[in-house]
Structure 1
Amino acid sequence: MTERIDGHTLLIGLMAYPIRHSMSPTMHNNAFAKLGLNYAYLAFEVGNDQLPAAIQAIRTLDMRGSNISMPNKQKVIPLLDKLDPAAEMIGAVNTVVNDKGILTGYTTDGLGFMKSLDDEGLNIRGQKMTLAGAGGAGTAIAVQAALDGVSDLSIFNRHDAEWDNAVRNVKLINERTNCRATLHALEDRDDFKAEIQDSAIYTDATGVGMKPLENETLVTDPTWFRKDQIVFDTVYAPRTTKLMKVAQAAGVTQVFNGLGMMLEQGAAAFKLWTGEEMPVDYIRHILFDEDA
C-alpha cells in the first residue's frame, strides 16, 4: 500500500455505520494494486447525522467517490446532484461518483446480480423470473432485471413492513419498463409453487438461509423445481444454503449462491470510479477460498 500512495493518489470511501467488518476495502485495494491504479479505498463510520458533512467532503477533498451502505442508502439521495435511472427507481444509492464536483448516485446490487448470471453464460432477458423479497436486495434485483429486459416478474413478499415497498416496486416497473410485474402474497403457497414452476429462474432475495436462519428455506419441496431452471440464492454464507440443497435434490444443475453477485456489485462500482474492469477471479481467490 505505501508503495502505491503518493501525491496523486485519489481517495474512495465507504460510508456506513457500523462498517469495520466490511470486506470492501480488501476487495478494492487489492484490485487497485493488481491493476496498478493510483487509488486508495478507506472505510469511514458515518451515520445519518454525519452524512451531510461527509458527502460535502467528497467535493472538498476531490475524492473520486464513495460506497454508501446502511443506514445511509436513502438519506444520501437529497445530498447528491444526479441519480442513475435504476437508483431513482429503487430509491436507494450504494455508490457515489464525483465528476468535477458533480455527485451522481448509482445502485450496483442489481447490476451485480445480472452480471453474475452473464458470467455463467446465462441470459434471463425475455424470460420470466419469480422473486422472493422486496427489501433492499430484492428491489435492486427486480428493477435492474426489468430494465435489462426480463419479460415477466412475479414478486412474492409477506404482508410485513416491506409489503408497501413491493407495491411501489411493481407500480414503477410496470410504468417505466417493458416488464410485466405482479405482486403476490408469500403466504399463498399454491400460488408461490405455480409461479416458480412457470419461471425460467427463481431468485430468493430474503435473509432466509442466512444465520440465524441457515437451516430454513422458503421452498422445502424439490418437486417445485424443474431440472432446466435456474435457482439463485442471494445468501453466500453459508456457501451452500438450504434452498440450494433443495434445488440440487431436484436435479437442478444451475444453482447459485450470492457470492458472484457480491463480487460483481463491487466490480460495477469499481468500473464506475476507474473505467477499468475489476479482476474478479483474482479478488474471489483473495476473499473466498473456494475450497473453504
Structure 2
Amino acid sequence: MKYLGVIGYPLTRSLSPAFQQAALDALRLDILYEAWPTPADGLQTRVTTLRSPTVLGANVTIPHKEAVMAMLDEVDEVAGRIRAVNTIVNREGRLFGYNTDLQGLMRALRQDGGFEPVGRRVVIAGAGGAARAAVAGLLDAGAASVTVINRTLARAVSLAKDFRDGGAKIPVGAMPDERRSWEFAMRHCDLLINCTPVASGDSIQSPLPLELIEKRHFVFDLIYDPAETSLRAAAKGAGAEFLGGLPMLVYQGAASFELWTGREAPVDVMFAAARSGVEAGVGKERK
C-alpha cells in the first residue's frame, strides 16, 4: 500500500480525498489518498514524513502553498515563477514541488468557459497562491493587462512586483480593496477572477460591489462550494457569463494525479466524485 494526501489547515471538508481516491480505484491502483490537516507549526514535520518510501507525494492547499517551498529539494520552473507549490512528488526520498493550479485554471477557463484571454483585460480578487497561478497563466496567454485587488494591499503590491521583476511584458498592477478601486478596475475589465476564499464555507460574501458586474464581463469564481453564491447570482442577473471553480479543482487534481502515478487521470470519474461531494456538502476548502 502506498499513500497520498492533501496538506492544509483545517481541511474540515476537503474534496480531494473523494475524487482522487475515486480515480485511484478506477485504475485499480493500491494507493490510499487521505486528508492530512496540518497547522503551520507542524508543516516541517509533515513534509519530512513525505520522504518515506510508502508515500508518493501530496497536494498542498491553504495556507501552506508558499511556506512549503523552502522545505523541498527542488521546485520546477512554473512553481518557482508563481512562488507557490500545490503538488509534491517523492522520488526516492527527494521531494519535488510543482504547481498544477496554473494548468488547471487555464484549462478550465478555455475548455469549460470558452474564454480566450489573449488581448483581454483581467481583474483578480485576492493575492494568494491561486492568484499567483492566475497571473502567471494570463501572462503566458498574452492578456493585455492584469490588475490585482486585495484586502491587504501589501500582498497585492508584492505579487505584482514579483511578476514585473520577473520580466512581465504586460502591465501587472495592484490596487487596494476599496470601492473606488473596484469602480475603476471594472470599467477596464473583460475577465474577473475571484481568488479569495470569502465566498466559501457557510458565510457567503462577495469580493466586490456586485452592482459593478455588467453583461460584458466574464466572471470566473474559483469557489466551487456552494455552487450558488452571491457572485454567481449577480453575474447571472447582469447577463454575464460565469464559470465556477469545480473544473479548475478537478483539472489541477488530474495534473497532480499524473505526476504521482504516470497514468492518464480518469477525469470523468474525478468530476463525478467531485460533484457528488459538493452535493453531499463534503468540500469547503479549495482542494
TM-score scaled by length of structure 1 = 0.82
Structure 2 letter corresponding to 1:52: Q
Aligned counterpart, 1:134: 127
Aligned counterpart, 1:226: 215
Number of residue pairs matched by the alignment = 277
Work out the CA distance in 2 between the residues paired with 1:20 and 1:209.
16
Structure 1 letter corresponding to 2:115: L
Aligned counterpart, 2:249: 262
Work out the CA distance in 2 between the residues paired with 1:182 and 1:112.
24
Work out the CA distance in 1 between the residues paired with 2:185 and 2:7.
38
Give the number of the structure with larger relative contact order, counting CA–CA contacts within 8 Å between residues 6 or more apart. 2
Structure 2 letter corresponding to 1:243: L
Work out the CA distance in 1 between the residues paired with 2:28 and 2:171.
44
More divergent stretch after superposition (102-111 vs 70-79): 70-79
More divergent stretch after superposition (94-103 vs 164-173): 94-103
Structure 2 letter corresponding to 1:204: N
Work out the CA distance in 2 between the residues paired with 1:77 and 1:118.
29
Corresponding residue SS for 1:87: helix
User: Contact conserved, 2:123 with 2:191, CA < 8 A, in 1?
Assistant: yes
User: Contact conserved, 1:219 with 1:243, CA < 8 A, in 2?
Assistant: no
Corresponding residue SS for 1:237: coil
1:27 partnered with 2:19: yes
More divergent stretch after superposition (207-216 vs 78-87): 207-216
Work out the CA distance in 1 between the residues paired with 2:44 and 2:150.
33
Distance change >3 Å, CA 208–CA 280, structure 1 → 2: same
TM-score scaled by length of structure 2 = 0.83
Work out the CA distance in 2 between the residues paired with 1:98 and 1:90.
21
Work out the CA distance in 2 between the residues paired with 1:47 and 1:147.
34
More divergent stretch after superposition (46-55 vs 192-201): 46-55
Work out the CA distance in 2 between the residues paired with 1:57 and 1:216.
38
Aligned counterpart, 1:74: 66
Q: Using the TM superposition, give the Cα deviation of residue 239 of structure 1 relative to its aligned residue in structure 2, in angstroms.
A: 0.9
Aligned counterpart, 1:86: 78
Aligned counterpart, 2:200: 210
Work out the CA distance in 2 between the residues paired with 1:112 and 1:285.
17
1:196 partnered with 2:165: no
Within 5 Å, give how 1:47-196 maps onto structure 2.
47-61=39-53, 63-120=55-112, 121-158=114-151, 160=152, 163-176=153-166, 177-189=168-180, 191-196=181-186
Q: Using the TM superposition, give the Cα deviation of residue 211 of structure 1 relative to its aligned residue in structure 2, in angstroms.
A: 4.2
User: Contact conserved, 2:250 with 2:274, CA < 8 A, in 1?
Assistant: no
Structure 1 spans left out of the alignment, 5+ residues: 1-8
1:250 partnered with 2:238: yes
**Aligned Cα root-mean-square deviation (Å):** 2.7
Encode CA deviations 1:183-213: one digit per residue, 9 max, x unaligned: 1223142x42343233321112223433454
4+ residue runs of structure 1 moved beyond 6 angstroms?
Answer: none
Structure 1 letter corresponding to 2:221: D
Distance change >3 Å, CA 49–CA 251, structure 1 → 2: closer
User: Contact conserved, 1:170 with 1:182, CA < 8 A, in 2?
Assistant: yes
Structure 2 letter corresponding to 1:268: A
Structure 2 letter corresponding to 1:54: R
Structure 2 letter corresponding to 1:79: M
Work out the CA distance in 1 between the residues paired with 2:141 and 2:72.
25
Work out the CA distance in 1 between the residues paired with 2:174 and 2:204.
26
Q: Using the TM superposition, give the Cα deviation of residue 291 of structure 1 relative to its aligned residue in structure 2, in angstroms.
A: 10
User: Contact conserved, 2:126 with 2:195, CA < 8 A, in 1?
Assistant: yes
